[in-house]
Structure 1
Amino acid sequence: MPDVIEDRAGVPVLVCDPAGPQVTTVQNALDLIGTAFLGAEVVAVPTSRLDERFFSLDTRFAGEIMQKFVNYHLRLAVVGDITPHLAASPALRALVHESNSANHVWFLPDLDALDDRLRKTT
């Protein structure tokens, strides 16, 4: 399935195909942002689409990607199981906790959790 904009809990969300192209560069993230500008407010990116560097904070890749979404006033939802990454990195655990406490970037286990989160924020 291609990346598609869906109404989820009353919010237009660009739901990215898990089998789609990897986000390995900032330009790849900007491409998703460009697609989202067709009408989405949130971009739901499966963890399978994110380069492993995203979960290793010392690379600063996650920060660059997240900042692009904030700059373009789009919410980013990282969707999927990141338990192994959390177990390996106290810094990532802190980032996820802080992000999930705010309204710009969320780390969620699945799209149902995204729907729940959207219902709470709208």
Structure 2
Amino acid sequence: MFKDVKPGHRKTGMTLSMDEMVNEIGGLCEHSGKELPSVKMGKNLDFVRAVTCAIRDGKIHIGQEIFVAAIARNDDADCDAKPVLLIPTCKKGSYRDSALVIEMIRQAWKFSPYGEANLRGI
């Protein structure tokens, strides 16, 4: 959709859609990066202990849903929404958190050679 232009495709506008969906697999919510020094596994159990303590202290949460952002072509051909971002969410964020996610997606779209650059001249 973003790289390989298929025969018959024309340049067209795109729609960004965002919503949450119920998640059967838990994961650390999007706020964990603010509370933990790192979210990388190490060579010992220090990370697991830090996560356990942060969850017990209420500093981070297990995501109950997945936030999904997807982009779809506004055309008759290949108009299925393609996910571009998946984040576990605990639904405790603010409008500022949402604005940062939207800006992150916008910047990625702007700088991708398969994003905004493909829409010039429409």
Bigger Cα Rg = 2
Same fold (TM > 0.5): no
TM-score by length of 2: 0.21
Higher normalized helix content (fraction of residues) = 1
Greater RCO, 1 or 2 (C-alpha within 8 Å, sep 6+):
2
TM-score by length of 1: 0.21
